Chains A and B, each alone.
Chain A
C-alpha cells in the first residue's frame, strides 16, 4: 500500500473499521505522519460525539459490580512522568469535593428506577421521552465538564447540603450540581437566579429528587452575569426572589 493510500485511511482507522494487519500498517504510518495523527485525533473526538447520542441508563447493579471490581484491580503505572495539572478554581478541598459529579448520577438513576415497572404503552412512551431528555442533559453536562474553561464553585447551602455551580463562559452555559439539599414541603421549591447587575433573573426551578441530590442545567447563560443565587420560593416559583438567598455564588475571581 502506498503512502497516498495510507493517508486516506484516517476515517476508517478512527472508526476501527480496518482489519488487524491494515490497522498495524496504518499505526506505523501514523507514528511518522503528523498530519494523519492529528486528523485521527479530531475524527475520534467527532466519533465520541456520536456516542453521546445513543447513551443508555445503566442499571444500578452495574455500578456496584464495576466499583467492586476496581477495588481488586491493580492500576498500570504511567509511561511518562506525570504532568502538572492545573487545579480547578473554586474546587472544595477534602471529603466530598467531587460531589458535583456524584450528584449528576442521581439524575440518571432517578430515571432508571422508575423505568421498568410499568408496561403500558403510554408509560413506555413517557419513559422514552425521559430517556431522551436525560441523554440530552447528560450530553450537555459532558460538554460543559469537558470545556477547557470550566470553572467550579462549591458553597454550602444554609439549612444543609451543598452545591456546585459549574460554568463555561465559552459555551455560555452553567449547571447546578447539588448534594443533600434539605427536603422542602410540597408548597415550596428551590429557585435559581442569575445576578445581573443586582437585578435577579430566574434561571430555573430545582426539581430535586428524593435524597436531595442531582444536577440540572441553568436556563440561560452565565455571560454578563455576576453570580448565581438560590432562594426558597412558593411552589411554581416567583418572578422575583421573595426572601434571602440560601446560597450565593459570586463569579468574581
Chain B
C-alpha cells in the first residue's frame, strides 16, 4: 500500500517551476526573484487594483506585496499549496487590509453608502465577468447560481466582508457564508483545482 501511495505523498509535492524559483528566492537569489516578478506582478497588480480601484494606491500596495514576497519567501511551504496561490493570498489580504482600514475611518457614512451603491453592483459584477477572459474561468463562473456568483465577486474582487456582502445583497449572514463556500467548491470542481 505504501508503494502505491508514494507518488502522491502530500508531504513531498513535486514542485513546479514557480515553486522551485521561490525556494531560490528564499536563498537570496535576486535573479530568481526578478523572474518570479515577471510571472506574478501582472496578476498581483490586477487583483489589488480590482479591490482598491485607485491606480496610484494599487501600485503602491502591489509593490509592498512583491517586496513582502522577497522578504518572506523562506516561509513559503509547498505543502500548504502552490507558489501562485501563496502570492495571491498575500496580495488579496494586503489589499483587503488597506481597503478596510480606509473604511473603518468612515464607517458610519459607509454603511449608508453601501446600501446606496447596490444598484451599481450588477454592472460591476458584469464587468468583472466580462473580463474573465479565460474561457474556463468564465464558463465555471457561469455555472454558479446568481447568489453564489455575486457573493464570490463581492468578497474576492471587492474585498467585502461577508457581513457587508450580506448587507449589499439583502440576504442573511448564514446564507452568504454558505454561498461563498459552496460557490468556491463548485468553482474548484469545475476548474479541476487540486491542492
Contact = CB atoms under 8 A, between A and B. Distances in A.
Interface of A: 8-12, 14-19, 38-39, 41-59, 62-63, 65-67, 69-71, 73-80, 82-83, 85-88, 98, 100-102, 104-105, 108, 132, 134-136, 138-139, 141-142, 145-150, 152, 166
Interface of B: 12-21, 23, 26, 28, 30-47, 49-50, 59, 62-63, 66-67, 70-75, 77-78, 80-85, 87-89, 91-93, 96, 128, 131-134, 137-138, 152, 155-157, 159-163, 165, 176-185, 187-188, 191, 193-195
Nearest to B156: A15
Given A46-B184, A82-B23, 12 more contacts: A8-B178, A12-B181, A15-B92, A48-B85, A49-B137, A50-B132, A58-B62, A62-B63, A75-B71, A75-B72, A86-B20, A108-B38
Contact of A42 (B32, B182, B194): B194
Given A43-B185, A71-B30, A101 B66 contact: no
B26 to A, nearest CB: 7
A110 to B, nearest CB: 13
Ordered nearest first, which 3 A-B pairs have the shortest CB separation? A11-B181, A101-B35, A11-B180
B158 to A, nearest CB: 10
Contacts of B187: 46, 49-50
A145 B17 contact: yes
Nearest to A10: B181
A104 B17 CA distance: 14
A76 B157 contact: no
Contacts of A150: 16-17
Majority SS at the chain B contact face: helix
A217 to B, nearest CB: 13
A11 B185 contact: yes
Majority SS at the chain A contact face: helix
A154 B103 CA distance: 50
Contacts of B35: 98, 100-102
Contact of B159 (A16, A102, A147): A16
A16 B134 contact: no
A45 B82 contact: yes
Contacts of A15: 92, 152, 155-156, 180, 184
Given A38-B195, A48-B89, A65-B63, A14 B42 contact: no
A55 B46 contact: yes
Given A85-B15, A86-B15, A136-B134, A11 B183 contact: yes
A63 to B, nearest CB: 6
Contacts of B34: 63, 67, 98, 102
B92 A47 contact: yes
Interface centre among B21, B47, B83 (most CB of A within 10 A): B47
A138 B195 CA distance: 21
A15 B38 CA distance: 25
Contacts of B161: 17-19
Contacts of B134: 52-53, 135-136, 139
A54 B50 contact: yes
30 contacts: A11-B184, A16-B155, A17-B162, A19-B163, A41-B80, A44-B85, A51-B43, A51-B47, A52-B43, A52-B137, A54-B49, A55-B45, A55-B46, A59-B59, A62-B45, A75-B73, A76-B75, A85-B20, A88-B17, A88-B20, A101-B21, A101-B36, A102-B34, A105-B37, A135-B42, A141-B39, A146-B17, A146-B83, A148-B15, A149-B14
